[in-house]
Amino acid sequence: MATSLMLFWLFTSVTVIIIQCVAGATESPETIRLDTGGLSRESFPEGFVFGTATSAYQVEGMADKDGRGPSIWDLFIKFPGREPNNATGEVTVDQYHRYKEDVDLMAKLNFDAYRFSISWSRIFPSITPYANLNHYDLPLALQERYNGWLSRDVVFMHPLVYGEYPKTMQNIVGDRLPKFTEDEVKMVKGSFDYVGINQYTAFYMYDPHKPKPKHLGYQQDWNVGFACMDDPGNITLPKGLHDTTRINYFKGYLAELKKTVDEGANVIGYFAWSLLDNFEWRLGYTSRFGIVYVDFKTLKRYPKMSAYWFKKLLHRNKN
């Protein structure tokens, strides 16, 4: 029984690694003098891991080639109107063929590691791989056979710490929530080594002033409205490269993260989302989160100002 399988990607004893997701002039970004706000690699503990992240379906392409079976997303997007401009992940940014270029780019930007998810096995030789077992693209066969993440063979983070689902979740979901046996509680409680938190940029939550929905589900259970901001997919290359808002976000976030580390929090790494502009799930190609701009027609990569900001931040002093 795969009871210990988690929706969160695991990393290594009660240690947290943060993965951040944010969205975002004529001077080249590489030549601009960038302010790290006093942050540097040396300001974090020795061995602190800095990386960047992507997920397989969002960047690889070759969705139905080389023996890859369908995922739940391949089926989902077959229905017209579910994606802006009926976008798909069949090509996305073609990392399947361009992974060496992308790994070289990460190395040049001074990143230590690459957090990626797997559709099929990959080994990158020049940068430490941090494999994410699932990033939304659950194999369709597992969805059909086990009812996917609703299966009692799968648990989320809270039961692995406390041996039960959160009380708020129990109150909202009620009888639809699986119940653990005593043996299952013993099996899952404390069964992790390291935890990676996939933390997205803040959503502004608001009361939609609507009655409780008839058809219940993950987001319907919340019964809230939410909104966020990012760079639009049609932003021009010159403007997209000068992503000062993204830099300010990373700078502010990492400054606060460093404070928690200095105060004793056991955080040993940080992975920025995302390396590349890509297929952004329900938003298709209408939103850009990457620190590298991708021309979706030519698939050429252009590091943004935020990429060079990280390069400066992660510079290693030879002494």
pTM for this prediction: 0.77
What per-residue confidence (pLDDT) applies to 11? 33
What per-residue confidence (pLDDT) applies to 15? 44
What per-residue confidence (pLDDT) applies to 121? 37
Beta strands in the chain (DSSP E): 16-21, 49-53, 113-117, 128-132, 195-200, 204-206, 225-227, 231-232, 267-273, 287-288, 292-294, 301-303
> What is the per-residue DSSP string for 109-156?
TT--EEEEE-SS----SSSEEEEES-SS--BHHHHHHH-GGGSTT---
What per-residue confidence (pLDDT) applies to 152? 76
Q: Which residues of the chain register pLDDT less than 70? A: 1-26, 120-125, 200-201, 228-229, 319
Distance of CA 150 to the CA centre of its chain: 21
The 10s digit of each residue's pLDDT in 209-251 is 888 778 877 778 888 887 766 788 899 999 999 999 999 999 9
What per-residue confidence (pLDDT) applies to 21? 56
Report whether 220 contacts 208 (CB < 8 A): no
What per-residue confidence (pLDDT) applies to 229? 60
Q: For the chain, what's the residue count? A: 319
What per-residue confidence (pLDDT) applies to 134? 75
The 10s digit of each residue's pLDDT in 91-119 is 999 999 999 999 999 999 999 999 988 87
3-state helix, strand, coil in the chain (%, to 5): 35, 15, 50
What per-residue confidence (pLDDT) applies to 17? 53
What per-residue confidence (pLDDT) applies to 201? 65
